Chain A
Amino acid sequence: MSDIGMLNTVKAAEDPVRRVLDGPRGARPKRTFSRTNIFLYGTLIVVALYYLLPLYVMLVTSVKGMPEIRAGNVFAPPLEITFQPWVKAWAEACTGVNCEGLSRGFWNSVRILIPSVLLSISIALVSGYTLSKWKFKGSEVFFTILIVGAFIPYQVMLYPIVIILRDVGNFLGVQLFGSLTGLVLVHSVFGMPILTLLFRNYFASIPEELFKAARVDGAGFWGILFRIMLPMSLPILVVAIILQVTGIWNDFLFGVVYTRADSYPMTVQLNNIVNSVQGIKEYNVNMAATLLTGLVPLFVYFVSGKLFVRGIAAGAVKG
């Protein structure tokens, strides 16, 4: 799903979402082994197994040998565990004539991710702060355009951005279109609506009097931001980081449009490896590669736990 909806999720659910973590409100089931309870837990467990199935399939397939895969089915547990597919996926898998494995895509993604997260969050932080505490005539108009823009399908803006990147790149004498720098800028641009909204609403929730007190104390625009607001913003920064790390890592569309073969992010390279028409299908390598690509967001998800829930509630994760 996209970040469009996130915008209003933020609006509608920022507060309630904390309530997700508050504990249930519904009617209390009576006895432990009542019929209702068996039905309730039975359903939940079956559904949970269904949701876990693909993770299980990825895992078991990625540690089987090809003969075993051809002899059995996707759900069968491995008889003999081998890590060869993982090694191959990481270091040897081919996209076209290039056989360096997914590692290249991984490092590309890392090189895209870090500056994109830093840049997009910095811009949005300053914008959100300005919009909440230093409003000036017209500032809200631009913000409205930004928010409405987030609802527009990216396809409409893809080509104009190609032109902007090419022309600005030519003007500055650097390559923007087709380079990692260009992609970083694109991620910052498209991360802006949701992140700006996130920070704007957060800063708006900080009492106005605190801001006034700082002004009486002689702090200026940047002084208030860095010495008063920022130290209070750790939770929302973490939410923004979760949002951006998973969103940018999982991006496919911008990667495929704005980078070239040698700078493809991991998702694009993964798709090229798995869906390549040449050669025989090595399902175990494919699944190892798929799981490898999913590891970063899964890691973020399981480590951040409840903050992730707040994050998606504050804005759905994907861009």
Chain B
Amino acid sequence: MAIAEDAGARAAPREQTVRRPNRLLRNLWPKFALLPMIATAVVVFLGGTLWTVVYSFTSSGLLPRRNWVGLDQYDRLWSTTKWIVSIQNLALYGVFSLVFTLVIGFTLAALLDRKVRGEDVFRTIFLYPFALSFIVTGLVWQWILNPDFGIQGVVREWGWESFTFNPLNDPDIVMFGLLIAGLWQGTGLIMCIMLAGLRGIDDDIWKATRVDGIPTWKTYVQVIIPMMRPVFVTAVVLIASGIIKLYDLVVAQTSGGPGISSEVPAKYVMVSMFGAQNLGQGFAASTMMLLSVVIILIPWAYLEFGGRRRV
């Protein structure tokens, strides 16, 4: 195509080209506006995490110091009974919490999804514990599980004198005492997510299974649950990340007792860092927590985003 011949009313020559202005200086506001986020991401999240990992290889005590000791802190960590117990407790709590939260959450959601009258009321009741803090949750269940005045006391009052249910003072079942409280607090959320998942399933699926004469329970097991795979993945990640962070509830309900029978890793970190002035142990323990998150998250991220590009 021919370049235009006349310059019109302009004195400036037509063929003038204007070079691209400096990319960095153009639109400065967006860059400026994102500074807090960039600082948070780079300094706190990335920098802080790397700092902790690096200092877990030092013998830091009261203050962080750069005396490299290799894996000593990790050796000590894994030979400390309290840490081993913490890990075992978390594993126990984790498995039961994951299974029960999923089962209860899904069941409640499925029940609510059956055109129940007063669905709003039920949903409000199942979800309200989630608005409460773990401290409040822990304290109220500490009181309900009180051996003298709580559940055990009531059942004995009814005449079953030998009834024993005293989880908060029984090292063998103390984690179940925490589990009861944790489930009470957290199942509402999973129920809501499951309910959202159920509502996301096309009504035609239900019509089709009814036409085919498939019983309701079978529809749930063979059609609905497989269709809700992404919802279950979300729920599992949600529950798992909550489990690893388990701390407030333990502090409020049992303080790690009786003895060390309800200690958890997050509490071990806190005590090492801010109680026992043993920073190195705290850093090593928190790095182990980080590692466990990575182990959980990588397969999930692979499943979620593997092969696909994130938009």
- The answer to whether A and B touch directly, with their CB atoms under 8 angstroms apart, is yes
Q: Cβ of B129 < 8 Å from any Cβ of A?
A: yes
Knowing that A26-B113, A72-B149, A313-B196 touch, tell me 13 more A-B residue pairs with CB under 8 angstroms: A5-B235, A12-B231, A27-B219, A54-B184, A70-B149, A74-B144, A136-B27, A142-B34, A151-B297, A153-B245, A164-B44, A189-B40, A221-B27
- Interface-side segment among B10-18, B134-142, B160-168: B134-142
Cα distance, A276 to B9, chains bound together (Å)? 87
Contact of A155 among B150, B241, B266 (CB under 8 A): B266
Q: Which residues of A contact B233 (CB under 8 A)?
A: 12
Evaluate contact between A252 and B238: CB separation under 8 angstroms: no
Contact of A27 among B139, B206, B251 (CB under 8 A): B206
CB distance from A187 to the nearest CB of B (A): 12
Contact code string B178-215 (vs A, CB < 8 Å = 1, else 0): 00000010101100110111111101001000100000
Q: Which residues of A contact B122 (CB under 8 A)?
A: 44, 48
How large, as a class, is the contact surface on chain A? 35 or more
Contact code string B29-52 (vs A, CB < 8 Å = 1, else 0): 111011011101111111111011
Nearest residue (CB) in B for A19 is B199
Evaluate contact between A127 and B34: CB separation under 8 angstroms: yes
Q: Cβ of B111 < 8 Å from any Cβ of A?
A: yes
Tally inter-chain residue pairs, CB-CB below 8 A. 349
Residue contacts A-B, CB under 8 angstroms, 24 given: A5-B239, A12-B230, A16-B196, A17-B196, A20-B192, A24-B115, A27-B216, A47-B108, A51-B184, A61-B143, A72-B149, A73-B157, A123-B36, A136-B27, A153-B286, A153-B289, A155-B266, A246-B131, A252-B134, A270-B139, A309-B192, A316-B130, A318-B130, A318-B133
How large, as a class, is the contact surface on chain B? 35 or more
Q: Cβ of A259 < 8 Å from any Cβ of B?
A: no
Q: Cβ of B112 < 8 Å from any Cβ of A?
A: yes
Cα distance, A161 to B238, chains bound together (Å)? 25
- Interface-side segment among A88-96, A110-118, A298-306: A298-306
Q: Cβ of B170 < 8 Å from any Cβ of A?
A: no
Q: Which residues from chain B sit less than 8 Å from chain A, CB to CB?
A: 23, 27, 29-31, 33-34, 36-38, 40-49, 51-53, 55, 64, 108, 110-116, 119, 121-137, 139-144, 146, 149-150, 153-154, 157, 184, 186, 188-189, 192-193, 195-201, 203, 206, 210, 216, 219, 230-231, 233-235, 237-239, 241-242, 244-245, 247-248, 251-252, 255, 266, 269-270, 273-274, 279, 282-283, 285-287, 289-290, 293, 297, 304
Cα distance, A272 to B48, chains bound together (Å)? 29
Nearest residue (CB) in A for B268 is A155
Cα distance, A88 to B287, chains bound together (Å)? 43
Q: Cβ of A143 < 8 Å from any Cβ of B?
A: yes
Contact of B126 among A48, A143, A274 (CB under 8 A): A48
Evaluate contact between A12 and B251: CB separation under 8 angstroms: no
Contact of A312 among B47, B108, B130, B149 (CB under 8 A): B130
Cα distance, A51 to B104, chains bound together (Å)? 12
Cα distance, A275 to B168, chains bound together (Å)? 14
Nearest residue (CB) in A for B282 is A159
Q: Which residues of B contact A305 (CB under 8 A)?
A: 124
Contact of A220 among B29, B154, B193 (CB under 8 A): B29
Nearest residue (CB) in A for B242 is A1
Q: With A26-B115, A153-B289, A153-B293 in contact, is A1–B241 under 8 Å at CB?
A: yes
- Interface-side segment among A78-86, A205-213, A286-294: A286-294
